[in-house]
Amino acid sequence: MATRTHFILLLIVVVIASSVQVHGTLSPTYYSSTCPKALSIVRAGVEAAIKKEARMGASLLRLHFHDCFVNGCDGSILLDDNATFIGEKTAAPNNNSVRGFNVVDDIKAQLEKACPGVVSCADILAIAARDSVVILGGPCWKVKLGRRDSLTASRAAANTSLPGPNFNLSALISSFSAQGLSLKDLVALSGSHTIGLARCTVFRARIYNDANIDASFAKSLQKKCHKSGNDDVTKPLDFQTPTCFDKLYYDNLLKKKGLLHSDQELFNGTNPSAESLVKKYAQDASSFFKDFAKGMVKMGNIKPLTGTAGEIRINCRKAN
């Protein structure tokens, strides 16, 4: 009887173990034996790209964010349109806006030489986002790895899932909550706007219509971003240090100098909890860095494909 009981228990353990194997969990050491140079190859590619153009760090960080918010962190944003679907690149939040695809292609080519068919495009985005932040002076975190790549993409899903630059605070909270992210995650991850640029068409309504904006700040932006035309003129999201990952984004919000309407919504007199976090991060960079890193790990864990789901793409722009 005891032997039979032990056998049943052993069988249960095996079933549970195999279940974990199939569904998989992300781990920072996922490629340690299958592609030990994976992290250094991605890092070298990101460093070269940022050295060539400092703005690219923000672009790579944004790619990961826009990937994860649409059906999870599955590399779907990288897929080109094909005969069976219209991808995410031409969705309203991405069209003429997301960039860095060539950098990802270059990194993937190097990884394919070193370890063919091993490292996913989704994981490249997650590692490149972290490396970009670190290179530009921000916090470091251990990137959990083992995501697989989607076989399809959806422009419709991108249009409905990504938060917009004209969102009010309640819409932002709802958008993040739908991904399992808290108000603290929202405020901390919005700090990614301490780097990068935005197009005139994205902040025009704010600088001409919003009341909670510093008048001289609005006037200075209006000189380049006119009421019509000049749509592609860009301005820094953080006008003080646009290529340095620091806490000045929050300092700007306290002075009503957030570039996007959605930025200033975090400090607009309607939500004491959000405003308390903005003040905290403006005063204490280490708190911002800690919460940002935690938020990035959490975001990177949104509905990943693991085990036998999806595939490892050879070319990040198309399914195998």
Binding residues: 67, 70, 72, 74, 76, 88, 163, 193-194, 238, 241, 246
State CA 162 to chain mean position distance: 11
The encoded tokens of residue 142 equal 């251990």
The DSSP-derived string for 39-70 is HHHHHHHHHHHHHH-TTHHHHHHHHHHHHHTT
Task: Please tell me what DSSP assigns to residue 316.
Answer: T
Annotated binding site for substrate: 163
Cα separation of 203 and 200, whole Å? 5
**Angle of the 272-283 helix axis to the 285-299 helix axis, nearest 10:** 120
Instruction: Give CA–CA dist 245/48, Å, rounded.
Output: 18
The two three-digit tokens of residue 99, written as one number: 């960039």
Please tell me what DSSP assigns to residue 199. E
Q: How many helices (H) and strands (E) does the chain have?
A: 14, 2
**How far is residue 104 from each of residues 57, 81, 120, measured CA to CA in Å?**
12, 17, 11
Binding residues for heme b: 193
CB 97 within 8 A of CB 58: no
- Report the binding-site residues for Ca(2+): 67, 70, 72, 74, 76, 88, 194, 238, 241, 246
Q: What is the DSSP letter of 235?
A: E
Catalytic residues: 66
Contact between 150 and 305 under an 8 Å Cβ cutoff? The reply is yes
Query: Taking Cα atoms as reference points, which of 103, 99, 158, 148 lies closest to residue 319?
Result: 148
